[in-house]
Each structure stands twice: as structure tokens, then as C-alpha cells.
Amino acid sequence: MEENTNINKSASLGLASKVKDYFQLIKFTLSFMVVFSTVVSFLIAPNEVFYVRNKIISVLLLFVAGMLITGSANAINQVLEKSSDALMKRTAKRPVASGRMSENEAVIFAVIAGALGVIMMWVFFNFQSAMVSLFSLFLYGFIYTPLKKVNSISVLVGAIPGALPCLIGWVAATDSFSMGGWVLFGIQFLWQFPHFWAIAWLAHKDYTTAGFKLLPADKGPTRFTAMQSIIYSALMIPVGLLPYFTGMAGVVSMWVLLACNLAMVYVSVLLFIKMDAKSARRVMFSSYFYLMIVLLALFANRAHF
């Protein structure tokens, strides 16, 4: 009896460990944030059939498909960056980098998850959203990922698949590439620059060790990098007004977006003045709150309760 108990306990621990590895492989927190943008953009879009009659089912299907596609992209990223991840303290314990999961297992997962996610987008939503999802997966996994070691322009390239989830959600709901989808794409596209450069600022030593070139200045965290964050945060102000002028948002939402955009400029200016890790961390966390508040403000404007 005791031997059977130990076997069962060992099997349970093994299963829990494997599940934890897959959560790390798909970078669950990051994937959830990406899919959050997709789902909220889907709900913001003017499609009453999806929005009212099939809202819960559609959101669940979109969430699952989004997690599969994003998880696939992140698995590809970890396979291609296995050696680099092993060199960095913050990524050395990832399943592929640490050797707990073979490259073949991760590749098989990536292929199955990616294909299933794209098929779900096609079957349950529309062909256009499926193709944009596939393009985003390819661009992130096979263009942005290897480009990170070549030139800091990779951040610009990576910002495209990083912003496409908003467009995917909009297209999934409307079956069209109309203005609203591009406005949401523009907001999330610009948002990524101060957000990612703050992360790269904090992880500069790790990234340099791995050979990644992610900051706009070759010399690392400099005032030039901080100035770039200010510029892109400032560009977010006029783009943040577009939802109001295109009829996507009301006056209250417009002021919420404006306040959030000014806050991003403010924390970026503080980074330029102080040039320290604390200020970079402030930009990073502010950007997380920015995206959540902006999308929820636009959703609240759209919602019918």
C-alpha cells in the first residue's frame, strides 16, 4: 500500500511539474495579456450579433484560440533562443533552456497549438482573422526572434505582432479591416516602445550577455533611450484621441485616454531626468496599467449593461 501511495504521489508531482513547464513554455502571463487585448478589441468592435447573442461563447473561443496561437509563438521563441535563455538569469530556468523539455517536444507543441488556434479562428470567426493570426505568429517567431541579435530595429519589427492582437480581435468581430481596428492597432503599437525599452533597460546586462541588441543606443541605457521613450509616449497622445474623433469613444473615455497618455509622458520624462532603474521600473509598471485602463475605458464606452 505504501509503495502504491508513493508511486501515485510521484506521478502527481510529475504531472504538476509538466503542467508548470508548459505554463512557462507559453509564457502564460504574457500570453494572457496579449489575448486580453484581442478579447477586449473584439468586444469593442460594432458587431451586435457577436456582442449580445453569442458573447460568452465567442469570447471563450477567441480566448482559447488566442492562447494557442500566442503560446505557439512563445514556444518557437524559446526553442530558437534556447542557448541565449540559458545564459540569462531571468530565463535560465525555462523548460527548454534548462533541458527539462526537449526541443522536439516544444516544436511539436508549437505546431499543434499554432495550427489548432489558426483553424479555430477560421472556423469560428473568419478567414481574415485567421490569416492575420498566422502572419503574426510567423512574424514574431521567425523574423522578430532571430532579429533581436542583429539590430535594435527588432523592437520596431516586434511591435507589429505585438499590436496585431487588437486588429485580430476587431477583424474577428467585424470581418473587415475598418478604421477602428487600425486605431486600436496604433495605440498598442506605440505603447510597446516605452514599455519594452523600460524592460530592456532593467535587463540590459542579461540581454548583453545573451547578445541581444534591444535598446536604441549601442552604449546601453542612455539619455537617448529615455528621450525615445518620451517621443513615443508623446506620439500616443494624438493617437489616443482618435477613438473619440472616429466615434469609438465618448467624452469620458477620451479624457481617460488623455490622462493615461500624459501619465506615460510624465514617467518617461522622469526616466530622462533621473536615469535610474527605479524610474525605468516606474515606466514599465505604468505601461501595464496604461494598456489595461485604456482598453477597459473603451470597452466601458461600448458596453451595454
Contact 206, 86 (CB under 8 A): no
- CA separation, residue 157 to residues 223, 234, 285 (Å): 23, 20, 23
| pTM, 2 dp | 0.90
| Each residue's pLDDT tens digit, 7-44 | 555 555 567 888 898 899 999 998 999 999 999 999 99
- What span, in angstroms and rounded, lies between the C-alpha atoms of 65 and 204? 33
Domain ranges of the chain: 11-177, 178-305
Strand ranges inside 99-255, DSSP E = none
pLDDT computed for residue 4 by the predictor: 53
| Each residue's pLDDT tens digit, 254-282 | 999 999 999 999 999 999 999 999 999 99
pLDDT computed for residue 3 by the predictor: 53
In the predicted model, residues of the chain with pLDDT beneath 70 are: 1-14, 48-53, 303-305
Assign domain 11-177 to a CATH class: mainly alpha
pLDDT computed for residue 129 by the predictor: 96
pLDDT computed for residue 89 by the predictor: 84
pLDDT computed for residue 7 by the predictor: 52
pLDDT computed for residue 48 by the predictor: 53
pLDDT computed for residue 52 by the predictor: 43
